[in-house]
A = this chain, B = another copy of it.
Amino acid sequence: MYRTNTCGELNISHLNSTITLSGWVQKVRNKGSMIWIDIRDRYGITQLVFEEGKTDANVFETAKNLGREFVIQISGTVIERFSKNDKISTGDIEVFVTKLNVLNISETPPFTIEDESDGGDELRMKYRYLDLRRNPVKNNLLLRHKIAQEARKYLDNINFIEVETPYLIKSTPEGARDFVVPSRMHKGEFYALPQSPQTFKQLLMISGFDRYFQIVKCFRDEDLRADRQPEFTQIDCEMAFVEQKDILETFEGMAKHLFSKVLNYNLPNFLVMSYSEAMEKYGNDKPDLRFSMEITDLTSIVKGNNFVVFDSAEYIGGICVKNSSEFTRKQLDELTKFVQKPQIAAKGLVYVKYGLDGTLKSSVDKFFDEPKLNQWATKFDAKSGDLLLILAGEKEKTLHALSALRLEMAKQLNLMNKDVFVPLWVVDFPLLEWNEEANRFQAMHHPFTSPKIEDFHLLDTEPKKVRANAYDMVINGVEIGGGSIRIHDKEMQATMFKHLGFTKEEAENQFGFLMNAFKFGAPPHGGIALGFDRLTAMFAKTDSIRDVIAFPKNNAGKDVMIDSPSQIALDQLVELGLQINKKE
């Protein structure tokens, strides 16, 4: 038996017990005649003590030669510490060691196994198994475990059934790029890895499973941005015989359950906001509501003052930044540079300072006198001491820029408190969006999303105006999940495919099984998928999903620890009927 207790377990109630522990050497303090060693395992740290003369001479000698990360097993007696450590649960005791067994030695690790490591990102990824020993990373994975268990408990409790859907499925060009898997038994043919179990969960509803969930890996072969992974995890759910409000209630309940059980946090009721309201007020379909700073539309009150920038603009709007009228010229110049960045692309920034002395000073004083500015201030509901920041241009782009500016100001003013969570549902998304590249409409959510019945008649004439029964769960400006009420009618699905530019043959070839299934009594149904990595990152209060994934890939899609992807043997290729041809 390797241990009687874990390294996080012993306390004053164990005084004088004889115990055995196993773990890693965290720290050695050798004071000559006295040696203290911290032994560590997943559960905690316990202090060991060795004293020359009192401790067995062989044991003392072995202790002297222990290094960091050696794996040891010790037996000894629990004694009271002279100077206690109230920061750890075992801080009242130490163990006087009588037996010491070195289970494995360790080379000096390439970086320190501490909360703040001296290892760079690259190095820590190569030795991820050592990085995982560090508390911050370890705790993230423990948190992830807890969220998964609680999510399942919540869903199991209300009759959701966990069903495993297949990983070797069929490639469908709609949406992101698939990872494909060549078939050896059927040379020249391929499976695809699922981007999500979408069609399978719909089939399960048609099968009558009523309520389905799965915590499941999904795959997208996309060019990776900082916070994307080629494989990621979803909490994937679907319900039959439901309307949108049933789904919102169920998953608002789940979010509250998770925050309560895992973080002991009382999540407030979700606000419900339409997509168009979110865009008007925040320039963004995932507004961060930890702070207000709503966008105010000035278009109707600022035109006709010979300021050509405003007069020629489709839209003029701004935000009111509280208590920031003392921003310096330099700060304002930097904000101007910020909004002029290519990814934001505003032309310039107009500001109005509502001074603490009650005066209004702006960067457009030439065109607008104080009564005019006062009118603006009223529109913004601004108070003395506030700063108004105003942008103008094409409406959609200006709202986008105002959203970026709003978030930047919140960051500068420390309004994004990671310990506060403000959730909402964004609903009534547009059904379609224009794809510039493909020169056609594509589904904003996916081709199985149902349009709002009352908008359906606009599909031919004003397709952009058709709203979908689609919704996103947004917390603190992060899209945690999204879903929709699905189409369950064969004719409507065929119409949708037509509008998305599928020929009848393409629709049949890719989704024939689903269209076919609709013939045999498909119930009304809908669902949602939550990004489990993203949700866990939010719980862990980190910005990167890589911090909550045990073995993530880097931005080039590489696992640098195992060195993958890599070349395979020629006979593997031959068996698959494939040849490598890097030239196009």
A571: nearest chain-B partner, CB-CB: B173
Residue A1 is within 8 A (CB to CB) of chain B in the complex? yes
Determine whether the beta carbon of B578 is less than 8 Å from that of A579. yes
Residue A531 is within 8 A (CB to CB) of chain B in the complex? no
Determine whether the beta carbon of A166 is less than 8 Å from that of B231. yes
Cα separation A168 to B582 with both chains bound (whole Å)? 21
The proximity string for A residues 90-128 relative to B, scoring 1 for CB distances below 8 Å and 0 otherwise, is 000000000000011111010000000000000000011
Chain B nearest CB, measured from A511 CB (Å): 9
Q: Which residues of B lie under 8 Å from residue A582 when comparing CB positions?
A: 187-188, 577
Determine whether the beta carbon of A106 is less than 8 Å from that of B564. no
Cα separation A578 to B180 with both chains bound (whole Å)? 12
Which listed segment binds B: A347-355, A388-396, A417-425, A521-529? A521-529
A161: nearest chain-B partner, CB-CB: B145
The proximity string for A residues 542-578 relative to B, scoring 1 for CB distances below 8 Å and 0 otherwise, is 0000000111010011110111111111001011111
A42/B580 contact (C-beta < 8 A), A70-B521, A141-B163 known: no
A67: nearest chain-B partner, CB-CB: B521
Number of copies: 2
Q: Which residues of B lie under 8 Å from residue A177 when comparing CB positions?
A: 184, 572, 575
The proximity string for A residues 452-468 relative to B, scoring 1 for CB distances below 8 Å and 0 otherwise, is 00000000000000000
Give the residue of B152, B210, B242, B521 whose beta carbon is less than 8 angstroms from that of A149: B152
Determine whether the beta carbon of B210 is less than 8 Å from that of A180. no
Q: Which residues of B lie under 8 Å from residue A168 when comparing CB positions?
A: 179, 219, 230-231, 553, 559, 564-565
Residue A71 is within 8 A (CB to CB) of chain B in the complex? yes
19 further A-B contacts with Cβ under 8 Å, apart from A43-B210, A132-B207, A186-B558, are A22-B523, A103-B524, A104-B489, A104-B518, A138-B208, A142-B161, A168-B219, A168-B564, A169-B562, A170-B564, A177-B575, A180-B572, A183-B557, A185-B556, A190-B565, A513-B562, A513-B563, A578-B580, A579-B581
A-B contact pairs, 13 of them (CB 8 A): A1-B246, A104-B489, A130-B520, A138-B209, A144-B164, A164-B549, A168-B564, A173-B569, A182-B182, A187-B580, A191-B564, A513-B562, A578-B578
Q: Please give the residue numbers on chain A whose beta carbons come within 8 Å of chain B beta carbons, in ascending order.
A: 1-3, 6, 22-24, 40-43, 69-71, 73, 103-107, 109, 127-130, 132-133, 138, 141-142, 144-145, 148-149, 152, 156, 161-171, 173, 177-193, 199-200, 203-204, 206-210, 217, 219, 221, 223, 230-231, 233, 241-243, 246, 488-489, 512-513, 517-524, 549-551, 553, 556-559, 561-569, 572, 574-582, 584
Of all A-B residue pairs in the complex, the 8 with the closest CB atoms, nearest first, are A106-B521, A132-B207, A2-B241, A189-B565, A170-B564, A183-B565, A69-B521, A579-B581
